[in-house]
Structure 1
Amino acid sequence: MAAEVVTKFVSVARTVEQVAEQPFYIPMTGPSARPRRSLKHDDTFIVLDSHGDIGASAGGPDGLFHHDTRYLARLELVLDDLQPLLLGSNLRDDNSALTVDLTNPDIYRQGGLALQKDLLHIVRTIFLWRGTAYQRIGVQNHGDRPAGFELTLLFDNDFADLFEVRGERRPRRGTGASRLLGPTDVLFEYRGLDDAERTTGLHFDPRPTRLSVNAATWQLELEPHQSKSLFVAASCNRPVAEKPTRFFRGLLAHRREMRHSTMGAASIETSNNIFNEVLCQAMADLNMLMTETPQGRYPYAGIPWYSTTFGRDGLITALQMLWVDPRVAKGVLRRLAHFQAKAIDPLADAAPGKILHEMRGGEMAALREVPFSQYYGSVDSTALFVLLAGSYFERTGDAATLIELWPAIEAGLAWIDGPGDPDQDGFVEYQRATEKGLANQGWKDSYDAIFHADGRLAEGNIALAEVQGYVYAAKQLAARCALRLGKPDRVRKLEAEAKALAARFEQAFWCEELGTYALALDGDKRPCKVRTSNAGQILFSGMIREDRARLVAADLMQPHFFSGWGIRTVAQGEVRYNPMSYHDGSIWPHDNALIALGLARYGLKHSVAHVFKGLFDAATYMDLRRLPELFCGFRREKRRGPTLYPVACAPQAWASATPFTLLEAALGIEFDVARGEIRLRNPHLPAFLNEVIVRDLRLGESSVDLRVSRHGEDVALEVLRTRGQIQVSIVLAR
């Protein structure tokens, strides 16, 4: 009898802590197999990989998107069923088009080499214009004999809502279909649960050899050095009978529109060629993110997740760009005033006078599966709206727009003093109205971003430190607007309220043991005694005492905050500090930019230069010299670049505006419309800039070209040209 073998399995008990899923979390489950590139035009954007494909490699939010819906989920080019080899992939400097250079791999047929690699040069040129993605595929045979092969485009679609692409799961979806419209056209159709019909039309030119609802194939025979062009256009919601514009005509019109849209903004050139590249990329990205709306141009927040109207992002971006192009602020203010809340809606977190946080146009928003159709869950957008309106008027003297906006400004101030302060303690606070909304409603809106020193999350009505600063600055600026409008009683009331707020804030938020201000007050009025960059943004508002401002600034320059690349959102050593987190130790360029404006306000120009250089150095390591939404907060090491954050938006509007804000802080630019004067207050250029030339800097109907040159610690100002009546001066004082 054979011996019986008994195998014992020992069960080891483990305590597994299940991580609670957070609403609207953006998952990251693996790396991208290929780098991604983005293009945008108005309410349409496209995310492709480095080969120019959509959906051909894992790990990216690929697709052609229009109004928060994916209109094309796959568009992949193959040669004889093989992927071509990548030679290079480049965006045009103005972001108008993506160009991809490919070549053929070795192609075998029936056991023999039919086409040797590197004989075909394939150039894909892709651009977006008016709801259509255009593509030209140019193929040239560089061999010394004829080349026969099949070129195929594989395509498909799912009409996924952007929130589905981000990871949200839905129990039910609408119904879709696809059909041929003839020898050159395919139509994808989808009727959503919101009863809206969405269509994607694909048009091919010339006529493919074979066309199905998922593939277009051309049988090509090219003589030596012969070339051929193929065209495809993917249109969102285009009427079936309407053909897209021809490729080259559309491309020229698109570039002409882009050039026209940038006219009127100041241009900047410096002695540092790399910084010039940073500025050019930033301006190109901002121009791409701008969207024509019925109320004016609006900077959409970022690609891919935030390509829509965001209140806070638009307001801060406009504020950052105010000195370069105040027209951005006008478009932002008029659009947000148009959508200002008029009634109470708990699901939308709306109350009269409140300024929009986010709006979405997809199926899930229409069905309120997500609350963002028009969502107002932002505690700071309203104060920022008033702040920007006042700043815009001071920058431009545009009384007509001020008069137009004044009812919205007053409604915003009423929200600040009313629903925005639910317990009437004099601080603006938030607590989400429903469980579907955002748990945290400041710019640090991660679920774990607001916490106490022991790591406990803050609960109840939360008053954020920087928001009180925004309110202070908003009331000061609104008072100056009221003075212009001849409302002396309103002036006195607003000034008194701002002064009282500053006094309350010092008493409630100052933490003597930390030497800085608390992150927030929780619902029980207990301060969150944590060192964070929020305290730095209070400098920007000008609300705090000078002696304490200098303590805050000195702390921000210490290694526990300043990584060498920039200021971290949370200081190293705090219990929730994590340099790889979204808001608890990472570095956000726009956060640093606002802090730099605050440092400049208090005359701390050497600290401004320190922050400026860190972010400039970081940009030199970034793809395309483009500052992303955020990057990791690891300490800077020699001969190594900064560590990227995996799902950061790039481009992102307020990150793109950051180089201009840093330059504003360094130069100390001020505008005095009444006197027709531009002043540079305590200008100080960082060591990597010897010279800055600003052209067509406008004040009212006049403009100036000027040069600022660095001579050691000093600067010299030269006026190169003036148009109209304008003065420029340097002020060396606080």
Structure 2
Amino acid sequence: MTQLDERQLDPAIALASLDEEAPREPARQYALKHGDCFVVADSYGDIHGGGDGLFLDDTRILSLYRLTIGDRPPSLLGASLSQDNVLFRTNLTNLPLPSGEGGRTRQGIIHIERTRLIWNDRMYERIALSNYGESEVELPLKLHFEADFRDMFEVRGSQRSRRGLAFEAQPFGDSVTMRYHGLDDVVREATISFSQIPTHLRANHAEFVLRLPRRVRETLFVEIGRGPTSPNRMRFRAAAARARFVMRSKRRHGATIHSSGRVFNDWIARARADIALLTTDLATGPYPYAGIPWFSTAFGRDGVISALQMLWVDPRLARGVLAFLAQHQATEISPFSDAEPGKIMHETRKGEMAILKELPFGRYYGGVDTTPLYVYLACAYADRTGDMEFIDQLWPSIQAAAEWMDRAIDRDPNGFITYQRAADTGLTNQGWKDSYDSVFHEDGRVPNGPIALVEVQGYAFAAYNRLASLASRRGDVLRAEAWKARAEKMRQAVENRFWMEDRKFYAMAIDGDNEPTRVRTSNVGHLLSTGLPAADRAHHVAEQLLSAPFHTGWGIRTLAEDEIFFNPMSYHNGSIWPHDTAICAAGLARYGYREHVVRLLSNTFEAAVHFDMRLPELFCGFGRAVGEAPIAYPVACLPQAWSSGAVFMLLQACLGVQIDGWRGEVQIENSMLPIGIDSLTVRHLGVGKAVYDLTFQRFGDRVIADLQTYDHSPTPVIMRS
């Protein structure tokens, strides 16, 4: 069994595997996904075998896929994704080509359009070629392909002492089959099938010589998946139609948002489409997978936070997340997987290394914050929907999670929830900043465990408070009182132990030597979002989060720039994560800093514009300069669920909207609109059994809200100023 260093889990390690001969320019990547199958390719539609590929069940089943014309790559005209994220399309043209009798085909007379989609564990591609020259062209087209069948963790940088048996690829007629017999005794395969019989077919390439008369369009169809098929126009169209229907159905769930800003609407539409793309329909309901390519699977923390971001517009997502996590809740102690009874899952994987337990991530529980966040989401879902029937079904799981929190707190001398990995194969750091170097002392020392993170105690405080209210509603007075007491005890402990009076800020953590890690991090913004800090301390924190060491003009850094390990190009020590900025904004709004939340929303929107309306997992934390764009982090996931969900959390914080599902009320407090937006409508907002359109309109320096019902029922709007 191979021991995994945490650094091998950092996606930045994948930089080492990128093609050293690739052009030294930013490589735009495009992702498509359906279920547990996804593809990542460049603007040409090509796969080079770095961090890209066609993946199925955490295994790369296609590691090379390139199109050449006359043994040369074509010239790129442009590439894009359809608005619904179903189709990738790239437009290419030919470079000069030799032709018969020593002649040459001029550059730019052949148009090559590659259109691609993923449906039911299979990649479909249509390659359309059009001749705009003056005479017939004989076009030599070649498709190069390989399959390395590497586990996702190998692609990310993990080393293995041995692998299974890779069979020689088998060309046959109009297809090539590649197979790998894993050490887990599973045979994985990928077959590439063509709509035409190639002129030459080899184990790693297919050659076609296509005659293109003037102004004639020739089409080649390709399919890649398990087993050979007979690709053709009808199969491609049928798969595209089914994929678009499913994606359209996903996007119709919940409320939609439309504003007076056309570009702002594009951002909202892209974010909603990305959430739909990443959401996989499991037996327990919809679940937002974390991100492509590194984390296209169910993560506990990511799923819960994404569901919280979307809760006010689409509570169905929260229900699916809660049902899945309840089903996979730990019931026994396992040091290898960091499992304890009642604990909520951190990550699940289906690849060969997970099956063989070379790594603990087949079903891994090393996330210290996931369990209190799960409890909080369950209570928040209940308050949003009033769906007590589902909560009653979930109650044994909620109780088990709360009991795990109780045990964790009771065994710590300070009364905190702590983490320390139980086996060397697990994650050293188990909060949301889980890279190996993300927790440290102000002088650079690595803290000894067990470690209590400040935001985790805030999550527990909020979970206990919400649990007390929910238990009271269920008539369980004793538990309600006990949980309320737990919440207050946690509040006092955090205020006493984490507050740094000299720095007017909370420490990131308390280590196993009972010493605070005296560094200023964005984790404290999460603490604000729970409502734990006293108002005067929250004011000091807010002022610092909004000051230059944290606030870049694009968002909030994960680490203040005057701390010892600050690096704007790092994964967690000075970068900007959109979901982190959004949670900080929710905390600022809670303490009355709504004008600053509007500013953060504007900053995030402007960053999204530079990223073609799709916010990445993270980007570099350099300060904003006039005329310059934000700097991309090289191997960030794109799309990422909680980055896409950030716009909805930021909007809710700006609009001041809360929904009381028990009373059927929409509560609006000190509402503000984004900069440059004069009106915004939330359409088809479900509140109990009623559906409303909620409109915000700017009048001078005021924002007025209006609620319209579809069935003329009483308008339950509570306005607070």
TM-score by length of 2: 0.95
2:619 is aligned with 1:631: yes
Aligned partner of 2:385 among 393, 396, 411: 396
2:37 is aligned with 1:44: yes
For residues 248 and 714 of structure 2, the distance between their equivalents in structure 1, rounded to whole angstroms, comes to: 27
Distance 1:145 1:109, change over 3 A: closer
2:199 is aligned with 1:209: yes
Paired amino acid for 1:641: A
Q: 1:88 Cα deviation (Å)?
A: 1.0
Q: 1:182 Cα deviation (Å)?
A: 3.5
The correspondence of residues 433-472 of structure 1 with structure 2, limited to 5 A, is 433-472=422-461
2:65 is aligned with 1:80: no
Q: Assess if the C-alpha contact under 8 Å between 1:609 and 1:686 holds in 2.
A: yes
Cross-structure match for 1:687 = 675
Cross-structure match for 1:595 = 584
Cross-structure match for 1:696 = 684
The correspondence of residues 83-94 of structure 1 with structure 2, limited to 5 A, is 83-94=73-84
For residues 93 and 241 of structure 1, the distance between their equivalents in structure 2, rounded to whole angstroms, comes to: 29
The correspondence of residues 264-303 of structure 1 with structure 2, limited to 5 A, is 264-303=253-292
Paired amino acid for 2:9: F
For residues 690 and 389 of structure 2, the distance between their equivalents in structure 1, rounded to whole angstroms, comes to: 18
For residues 723 and 264 of structure 1, the distance between their equivalents in structure 2, rounded to whole angstroms, comes to: 19
Pair member with larger Rg:
1
Aligned partner of 1:166 among 156, 159, 184: 156
Distance 1:554 1:75, change over 3 A: same
The correspondence of residues 411-560 of structure 1 with structure 2, limited to 5 A, is 411-419=400-408, 422-560=411-549
> Greater shift after overlay, 412-421 or 226-235?
412-421
For residues 389 and 51 of structure 1, the distance between their equivalents in structure 2, rounded to whole angstroms, comes to: 44
Q: Assess if the C-alpha contact under 8 Å between 1:356 and 1:381 holds in 2.
A: yes
Q: 1:675 Cα deviation (Å)?
A: 2.4
For residues 95 and 231 of structure 2, the distance between their equivalents in structure 1, rounded to whole angstroms, comes to: 35
Superposed CA offset, 1:708-727 (max 9, x none) = 01234310123344346452
Paired amino acid for 2:547: Q
Q: 1:309 Cα deviation (Å)?
A: 0.7
For residues 181 and 117 of structure 1, the distance between their equivalents in structure 2, rounded to whole angstroms, comes to: 33
Superposed CA offset, 1:514-538 (max 9, x none) = 1111111001221111111111111
Aligned partner of 1:717 among 693, 705, 712: 705
Aligned residues: 708
Superposed CA offset, 1:54-89 (max 9, x none) = 12xx7x412100111001111111122221111111
Distance 1:529 1:111, change over 3 A: farther
For residues 552 and 224 of structure 2, the distance between their equivalents in structure 1, rounded to whole angstroms, comes to: 45
For residues 562 and 142 of structure 2, the distance between their equivalents in structure 1, rounded to whole angstroms, comes to: 56
Cross-structure match for 1:54 = 47
For residues 592 and 640 of structure 2, the distance between their equivalents in structure 1, rounded to whole angstroms, comes to: 29
Cross-structure match for 2:90 = 100
Greater relative contact order structure (CA < 8 Å, 6+ sep):
2
Q: Assess if the C-alpha contact under 8 Å between 2:99 and 2:138 holds in 1.
A: no
The correspondence of residues 298-313 of structure 1 with structure 2, limited to 5 A, is 298-313=287-302
Distance 1:726 1:72, change over 3 A: farther
The correspondence of residues 248-263 of structure 1 with structure 2, limited to 5 A, is 248-263=237-252
The correspondence of residues 532-681 of structure 1 with structure 2, limited to 5 A, is 532-622=521-611, 624-681=612-669
Paired amino acid for 2:719: V
Q: Assess if the C-alpha contact under 8 Å between 1:125 and 1:137 holds in 2.
A: yes
Paired amino acid for 2:33: K
For residues 731 and 550 of structure 1, the distance between their equivalents in structure 2, rounded to whole angstroms, comes to: 25
Q: 1:268 Cα deviation (Å)?
A: 0.7
Cross-structure match for 1:7 = none
Aligned partner of 2:9 among 24, 47, 55: 24
Paired amino acid for 2:587: G
Paired amino acid for 2:281: E
Cross-structure match for 1:233 = 223
Q: 1:507 Cα deviation (Å)?
A: 0.6
For residues 28 and 540 of structure 2, the distance between their equivalents in structure 1, rounded to whole angstroms, comes to: 43
Q: 1:670 Cα deviation (Å)?
A: 0.9
Distance 1:445 1:420, change over 3 A: farther
Distance 1:72 1:478, change over 3 A: same
2:320 is aligned with 1:335: no
| Aligned partner of residue 633 in structure 2, secondary structure | coil
> Greater shift after overlay, 672-681 or 428-437?
672-681
Paired amino acid for 2:538: A
Q: 1:630 Cα deviation (Å)?
A: 1.0
Q: Assess if the C-alpha contact under 8 Å between 1:421 and 1:429 holds in 2.
A: no
Q: 1:178 Cα deviation (Å)?
A: 4.0
| Aligned partner of residue 705 in structure 1, secondary structure | strand
For residues 590 and 644 of structure 1, the distance between their equivalents in structure 2, rounded to whole angstroms, comes to: 16
For residues 580 and 266 of structure 2, the distance between their equivalents in structure 1, rounded to whole angstroms, comes to: 22
For residues 688 and 500 of structure 2, the distance between their equivalents in structure 1, rounded to whole angstroms, comes to: 44
> Greater shift after overlay, 635-644 or 125-134?
635-644
2:129 is aligned with 1:144: no
Q: Assess if the C-alpha contact under 8 Å between 2:385 and 2:662 holds in 1.
A: no
Paired amino acid for 2:673: L
> Greater shift after overlay, 205-214 or 491-500?
205-214
Cross-structure match for 2:108 = 118
Distance 1:726 1:192, change over 3 A: farther
Q: 1:21 Cα deviation (Å)?
A: 7.6
CA root-mean-square deviation: 1.8
Q: 1:277 Cα deviation (Å)?
A: 1.3
* Unaligned ranges ≥5, structure 1: 1-19
> Greater shift after overlay, 28-37 or 633-642?
28-37
Paired amino acid for 1:225: R
For residues 244 and 474 of structure 2, the distance between their equivalents in structure 1, rounded to whole angstroms, comes to: 42
* Unaligned ranges ≥5, structure 2: none
Paired amino acid for 2:553: G
Aligned partner of 1:187 among 157, 177, 189: 177
For residues 571 and 713 of structure 1, the distance between their equivalents in structure 2, rounded to whole angstroms, comes to: 33
For residues 320 and 437 of structure 2, the distance between their equivalents in structure 1, rounded to whole angstroms, comes to: 34
Q: 1:23 Cα deviation (Å)?
A: 3.9
| Aligned partner of residue 432 in structure 2, secondary structure | coil
Q: Assess if the C-alpha contact under 8 Å between 2:465 and 2:487 holds in 1.
A: yes
For residues 111 and 145 of structure 1, the distance between their equivalents in structure 2, rounded to whole angstroms, comes to: 15
Aligned partner of 1:707 among 671, 695, 717: 695
For residues 240 and 204 of structure 1, the distance between their equivalents in structure 2, rounded to whole angstroms, comes to: 9
> Greater shift after overlay, 454-463 or 658-667?
454-463
For residues 106 and 117 of structure 1, the distance between their equivalents in structure 2, rounded to whole angstroms, comes to: 4
